Amino acid sequence: MKLPIYMDNHSTTPCDPRVVDAMLPYFTEKFGNAASRNHSFGWEAEEGVDQARKHIAALIHADAKEIVFTSGATESDNLALKGVVEMYKEKGDHVITTSTEHRAVIDAAKALEKKGVKVTYLPVDKTGRVDPDDVRNAITDKTILISIMLANNEIGTIHPIAEIGKIAKEKGVLFHCDATQGVGKIPVDVQELGVDLMSFTAHKIYGPKGIGALYVRRKAPRVRLAPMIDGGGHERGMRSGTLPVPLVVGFGKAIELCAQEMPEESVRTKALRDRLQDGIMDVMEEVYLNGHPTERLPGNLNISFAYVEGEALLMGVKEIALSSGSACTSATLEPSYVLRALGVGSDLAHSSIRFGIGRFTTPEEVEYTIDRMIKAVNHLREMSPLYEMAKEGIDLKTVQWAVH
């Protein structure tokens, strides 16, 4: 086993070598501009793009014409929210989303609020799921867009998207889904889910960074978007700019591999995740699962280790790449807003660690991680005044702390 171990696959994934192989010719030999219609270099590049678009559309049960390439899911989210609001502003000025969306959606929504758009941020239950009835009740005659993620990037919780899709359709409201963490990991069918727009990206599924897509429904209803980037009218006018053909080809290959391997891969990653979860939670006291026990991404595990601080814990296992919901690991010095929205106390939010199992995670790495986590947590608990107080029978919630 090689160190360091990469177990932060929600953040990004390595490029699959098969993806890199597929991309390479498009840097040097097939370097043409896919928009060049008059020579073979252009045709070759266009052929590569068309193939990729077909693979991507097939995985999500869409038509190839409904795939708009972007620079990544952040751009897709921005284009979906801002593009829909701009296009449909005569119809209404209300957007519904949730409080646990990725920052790309939350911050795009906040930017819209500054321009006078009304945004409802729906709460989630303690497992991180939004209640479809809350969505229904939040819809007004001014609502033009609902934006709810497929699976959460921190806790892996999968939202009841198909149910929300039905409500959106019934009420005639457009439905955008940020499926960045879900596509390629769990089956995604835009028809079954009833989504009209959907964001996803290559680098979460063993493809290259810098390329993503927005699915934009063409029929029933035909979704229109105001572009954010003007130019040569690429991507049906919704996203101008020369396509990065090697990245597009890599994205397509990554999706093709996911389509082939998902049935086997999701079972394997889930088994490794379950082993990691049990290996830690069965032997340690006062560890808490964040998220939904079953409606969760197969590779996701988010645990709070009471009485120890997340960043200190990461420091103790620095040969394993993980992430934490602790304030100390964020730029804002606030603990994870996702965990806070679940009702997880700030103390436990500071104590949270996210594990992301992926395609290249091995059973040996999982066993090593279990062992190292247990040792590091015990080391820090020995050092923790909170653990000592709890052991003495003091209820920490009754202590008057000097909040600073």
Q: For binding to another protein (CB under 8 A), which residues are involved?
A: 307-309, 311-312, 315-316, 326-328, 333, 335, 345-347, 350, 382-388, 394-396, 398-404
Nearer to another protein by Cβ, of 265 and 309: the residue is 309
Place of tokens 């978007």: 225
Minimum CB distance to another protein, residue 386 (Å) = 5
Minimum CB distance to another protein, residue 210 (Å) = 25
Is 253 within 8 Å of 205 (Cβ atoms)?
no
DSSP annotation of 8 reads: B
Rounded Cα distance, 296 and 151, in Å: 7
Nearer to another protein by Cβ, of 277 and 324: the residue is 324
Rounded Cα distance, 91 and 144, in Å: 7
Which phi and psi angles does 144 have, rounded to 5°? -115, -15
- Residue 184, Ramachandran bin (φ over 0: left; ψ between -120 and 50: alpha; else beta): left
Place of tokens 């500054």: 114
Rounded Cα distance, 30 and 40, in Å: 9
Nearer to another protein by Cβ, of 189 and 382: the residue is 382
Nearer to another protein by Cβ, of 294 and 398: the residue is 398
Minimum CB distance to another protein, residue 219 (Å) = 49
Q: Helix crossing, 73-87 with 103-114: angle to 10°?
A: 30
Nearer to another protein by Cβ, of 110 and 391: the residue is 391
Minimum CB distance to another protein, residue 355 (Å) = 19
DSSP annotation of 129 reads: P
Is 79 within 8 Å of 70 (Cβ atoms)?
yes
Place of tokens 């119809």: 91
Give the number of other CB atoms < 10 A from CB of residue 215.
29
Nearer to another protein by Cβ, of 4 and 172: the residue is 4
Place of tokens 């020369």: 242
Minimum CB distance to another protein, residue 274 (Å) = 30
Reading across the β-sheet that carries 287-289, which strands appear in turn?
287-289, 300-305, 352-356, 323-324
Active-site pick, 15, 177, 258, 328? 328
Rounded Cα distance, 189 and 10, in Å: 21
Minimum CB distance to another protein, residue 363 (Å) = 28
Minimum CB distance to another protein, residue 232 (Å) = 42
328 is catalytic: yes
Nearer to another protein by Cβ, of 39 and 375: the residue is 375
* DSSP letter for each residue of 169-235: HHHT-EEEEE-TTTBTTB---HHHHT-SEEEEESTTTTS-TT-EEEEE--SSS------SS-SS-TG
Q: Which of 242, 251, 239 is nearest to 203 (CA)?
A: 251
Residues catalogued as catalytic: 328
